[in-house]
């Protein structure tokens, strides 16, 4: 057991880092696309000249994530902080799907183009 547990813990840690990185990359692109659709300010659509990444969108999402993470940990223990962050992640994930379905249900009248048969 002593030989199996450390590599498994390392693999779980690497998996978690990968999941957080993937989620962060996806979430930083959402304000960029909303800016392209003129739903947010043009400031979110500016790309880095060399790397072509949405720098302002990354800064905005990073600031929001840091603020929410710190707000969830003020005056609480480790277990409660973990539970608060997990609950907040689930609620924000649900809001994303709510927004997606709201577009389908209530946004149809705004779109004039119909797809071809």
* Number of domains into which the chain is organized: 1
Domain contains 116: no
CB 44 within 8 A of CB 64: no
Domain assignment present for 101: yes
Q: Is residue 25 part of a domain?
A: yes
Instruction: Look up the domain containing 80 and give its range.
Output: 5-110
24 inside domain: yes
Rounded CA separation 24/111 (Å) = 30
According to the model, what pLDDT value does residue 112 have? Answer: 64
**pLDDT tens, position by position, 33-91:** 888 988 889 999 999 999 999 999 999 989 988 887 788 778 888 888 888 878 877 88
Dihedral angle of Cα 113, 97, 37, 43, to the nearest 10 degrees: 180
Is residue 30 assigned to a domain? yes
Q: What global pTM score does this model have? A: 0.62
Measured CA angle at 30 (ends 29, 31), to 5 deg: 95
Q: Which of 44-48, 52-56, 98-102, 109-113 comes out lowest in average pLDDT?
A: 109-113
Distance between CA atoms of residues 42 and 34, nearest Å = 9
Residue 117 within any structural domain of the chain: no
Local structure of 42: helix, strand or coil: helix
């Amino acid at each position: 057991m002593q030989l199996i547990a450390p590599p498994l813990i390392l693999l779980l840690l690497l998996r978690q880092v990968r999941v957080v990185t993937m989620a962060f990359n996806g979430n930083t692109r959402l304000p960029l696309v909303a800016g392209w659709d003129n739903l947010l300010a043009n400031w979110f659509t500016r790309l880095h000249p060399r790397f072509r990444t949405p720098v302002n969108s990354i800064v905005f999402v990073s600031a929001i994530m840091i603020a929410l993470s710190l707000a969830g940990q003020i005056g609480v223990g480790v277990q409660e902080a973990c539970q608060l962050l997990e609950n907040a992640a689930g609620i924000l994930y649900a809001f994303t799907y709510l927004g997606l379905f709201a577009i389908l249900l209530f946004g149809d009248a705004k779109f004039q183009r119909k797809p071809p048969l």
